[in-house]
A and B are shown apart, each in its own frame.
Chain A
Amino acid sequence: MDFKLTPEQEALKKELDDFLREEMKNAPPGWEAGMEAMFSDEGWPFHRYMARRLSEKGWLVRPWPREYGGVDAPMIEQVIFSEVMGYHRAPGRDIFGIGMIGPTLLVAGNEEQKKEHLPPIARAERFWCQGWSEPNAGSDLASLTTRAVRDGDDYIINGQKTWTSGAHFADWSFILARTNPEEKRSRGISFFLVDMKSPGVTVRPLLGMNGTHLFNEVYYDDVRVPARNRVGEENEGWAITRATMNFERSSIETVGVVKRELEELAAFCKETKWNGKTLSQNPFVRHRLAQLAIEIDVGRALAYRTAWLQEKGGLLLSADAASAAKVYGTELAQRLAYTGYQIMGLYGQVKMGSKWAPLHGSYESSSQLCMGMNLAGGSSEVQRNMIAWFGLGLPRTI
C-alpha cells in the first residue's frame, strides 16, 4: 500500500497549481461564489479562454490516446488534474465534452465520428451539453419518449429535454431518443450527436432557486440529424450510456472545491471576532470545522480509490465506487454549505455583492446550489441504487 504520488505526479501537480494560481487572477468578479458562474454571460468567455489555455499547455485531454490529442496518461493523473482544478475553482474543462462524449466516442464511436469530434474537443473549440433527462424521465431515464424517426439518410427528432446544463452556450449536444416505440424502457433507444444550431432546436432557460442560469429546457421540433451522427447501432444506445457515465466519476473535483471552501472558512473563523472572541475559539465552530476536514479526507480517499479501481479494473467495473464517491462528494458539499451558513449566523443570508456578505456571500448561494448537485448527474437515490445493485448484488426490482 502506498499513498504517495510519484515525483513526476508531484511535479505535474505543482506546475498546474502554479499555472492556475496565476491564470485565476483573470477570473471575472464574483467567481468565488461558485462554479455556476461559468454559465453566465461574463463567465462563459472566461471558461472558453481557460479551456484554450489548458489545451495549449497539453493538459486538457491527457488520458486520451495520442492520435486524438492526449498522452495516454493514467487515470490517477486525471484525478490530480481535477483535484487541483477544483481547488482553484478553475473552469475550462468541459465536463460534457471532455468528461462524457469524448470518452464515449473513444469506446463506442466509429472512426469518422472520432475524427470529426475529438480534435475540436481537444483543441477547446467545440463545447457540448447532455440531452438525456426529460420532464417525465428523470431518475427513470429509460422511460424517455423523445422520438427519432428514420427518413432516408437522416433521422427526424421530436421531443423535449430538460435540466440541460449549459445548453444556452453549447455547440453540440449528445442526446438519447427512442427509435423503436414498440420496445419499452431501455430497449429501442438510440444515441445521437446533434448540432445545437440545427433548425428546430429551441433552448429556454430554467433559472435555479439561487437565481443562476445553469439549466435549460431544450425543445426538438422536426430536427433533422444525419444518420452518420448516430453512435452505435440503432436501438442499442442504452448500453453506451454506461460508458458515458463512468468515465472519471471520482468526484474529486468536488473534494477540491470543498477543501478550498473549508480553508477559506477556517481562515475567516480565525480572524473574525464576535462577542470578543474569535469564531475559532468557539468549541462548536472548532469541532464543526475539524469534522469537515475529516470528511474531506474521507471523500478524497473514496475519490482516489475510484480512480485507482478504474485504472486497474476498467470503467464499468467500478460503477458502485463511482456512485459512492458522487453521493458522498455532493452530500459533503451540502454539509459544508450548511455549516458555513450556520457559522455566519444572520450574515449567512446576505447575497454576494453586499459589504455585509462574509466570504463573498458564498453560503447564501451554495446552500441552495448544493441541492441541485444532489440531483444533477443522477440523484443520490439513484446512486444508492447503483451501489446496492452493482456493488452489493442486491436484487434489482426496478
Chain B
Amino acid sequence: MDLGFTEEQEMLRTTARDFLEKECPKSLVKEMAEDEKGYTPELWRKMAELGWMGLAFPEEYGGMGMSFIDLAVLLEEMGRACLPGPFFSTVVLCGFTILEAGNEEQKREFLPKIANGDLILALALTEPSARYDPASIQIKAVPKGDDYLISGTKLFVENAHIADYIICVTRTKNGASPEEGITIFLVDGGSAGISTTLLKTIAGDKQCEVIFDNVRVPKKNMLGELNKGWGVVEKLLEKATAALCAQMVGGAQAALDMSIAYAKERVQFGRPIGSFQAIQHYCANMVTDVDGSKYVTYEAAWKVSNGLPATMEVSMAKAWVSEAYRRVTLLGHQIHGSIGFCMDHDMPLYFKRAKAAEPTFGDADWHREVVAKQLGL
C-alpha cells in the first residue's frame, strides 16, 4: 500500500498550480462566467502546448500515455483554479468516449486533434428528464440511406454552443429493456438542424439546450455498436464521475486553504478569529471533510486507473464528495463572514461550483442508491 503520489505526479501538480495561478487568475474566471464563449483561445492553446489535452491518451493517438491518476492530479488543480472552458467536456467526456467506443479510424482521426487542442467537443447525454438512467434517453435517431436523422432535445449539454463536434446519445430502438437500443453518434457541430441556447446557471458554466431537428449524421460517425451504446455510457459515467470528484476535491482544498488563511489574518476582539474555538472546530471539520474526500476519491481513481471494478467506490466518492464539498464551502463562508458574501470575493466561486457539481452525474441520493444495490439491498 502506498497512499502517496509519485515524484512525477507531485511535479505535475506543482507545474499545473503555478501555470494556472499565472494564466488563470480569479479575475479571468469571473470574466469568463459572464463571457458568451466561456474560454479564451490563448489559454486553451497554452494548455494544449503543455500536453494536458492528451495527457491520459495513449501515445499512438498523440497523447502522453499517462494514467487516470495523473489526470486526476491535473483535474484537482483545475478545480482549485476554477478553470473555465471546455477541458472537461472535450477531454474527459468526449475524448474517453472516442477512446472507449471509437473504431481505429475514428480514434486516429479525432484523438490527436483533441490532444493538439484543435477540437472542442460536447457530450449530449441528458434530456429534459434530467436523469442519468437509460430510460431517460428518448431522443430519436432514425436510419435514412447512408445516414441517420436525429430529432429531439438535449439539455444541460456543456459547451455545445462552441463545440466542433457533439457526441449525441440517442435511442435507435425501443428494446425489451431501457438499456437496449441506445446508440452513440459523433455529430458535426455545424450540421444543419442543430440549434443551441445557452442556459444561465449558478456557476456560469456554459450549459446549453440543444435541439436536434432532423440532423443528418453519416452512419460511419456511429461510435461503437448499434443499439449497444449504454454500456459505453455507463463506463464513461464511472470515469467522468471519478474525474469530477477529483476536480471537486481541488475546489474544496482551495476553499479550505482560503478559510484557514483568513482565520489567521482577520482580527476581532483583539485577536485573530482563528484563535476562537468555534472557528477552530469549523476548520477541523472542514479539513476532515477534505481529507476524507481526497482518499475516497483517490481510491476510486486508483481503481479506475487500474481497470478494476469501481462502481461501488465511484458512487461512494460522489455521494461523499457532493455533500462534503458543500459543507466545506458553507463553513468557509461562515468563517469569512459578510465579506465572503460579496460578489467580487473568491469564496462564492467555490460555493457555486460545489452546488453545480452536486447533481452532476447523479447527486448523493442517486449514488447512495447505487451503493445500496451494490450492498445487495
Contacts and interface: CB of A to CB of B under 8 A. Distances in A.
A294 B376 contact: no
Q: By CB atoms of chain A within 10 A, which of B6, B299, B365, B375 has the most?
A: B375
B3 A304 contact: yes
Given A266-B377, A305-B291, A2 B302 contact: yes
Contacts of A290: 319, 368-372, 375, 377
Contacts of B368: 286-287, 290-291, 294
A138 B295 CA distance: 33
Residue of B9, B279, B281, B365 contacting most chain A CB atoms (<10 Å):
B281
SS of B interface (majority) = helix
A181 interface: no
Interface string A373-398: 00000000101110111011111110
Contacts of B320: 294-295, 297-298
B274 interface: yes
B264 A395 contact: yes
Given A290-B368, A294-B371, A384 B291 contact: no
A1 B5 contact: yes
Contacts of B283: 387-388, 392, 394
A308 B370 CA distance: 30
Interface string A1-33: 111111001000000000000000000000000
B1 A5 contact: yes
A73 to B, nearest CB: 14
A287 B316 CA distance: 12
Chain A residues touching B, majority SS: helix
Interface string A261-303: 0000010011000000000100000110111011101110110
A369 B313 CA distance: 31
A76 interface: yes
Nearest to A74: B1
Contacts of B200: none
B369 A308 contact: no
Nearest to A267: B376
A304 B365 contact: no
B349 interface: no
Nearest to A388: B280
B53 interface: no
A270 B372 CA distance: 11
A257 B169 CA distance: 45
A381 B1 contact: no
B302 A393 contact: no
Contacts of A301: 292, 295-296, 299
Interface in A81-121: none
B273 to A, nearest CB: 10
Contacts of A280: 372, 377
Contacts of A297: 296, 299, 313, 316, 320
With a 10 A CB-CB cut-off, give which of B277, B284, B298 has the most chain A CB atoms.
B284
A3 B299 contact: yes
Contacts of A295: 320
Contacts of A76: 1
Nearest to A9: B1
Across the A-B interface, the 6 shortest Cβ-Cβ residue pairs: A301-B295, A388-B280, A384-B284, A387-B284, A290-B371, A290-B368
Interface of B: 1-6, 9, 69, 260, 263-264, 271-272, 274-275, 277, 279-281, 283-285, 287-288, 291-292, 295-296, 298-299, 302-303, 313, 316, 319-320, 365, 368-372, 375-377
19 contacts: A76-B1, A266-B377, A287-B368, A289-B377, A290-B371, A291-B319, A305-B295, A312-B4, A320-B287, A321-B291, A323-B284, A324-B291, A327-B288, A384-B284, A385-B280, A388-B281, A395-B271, A395-B274, A397-B275
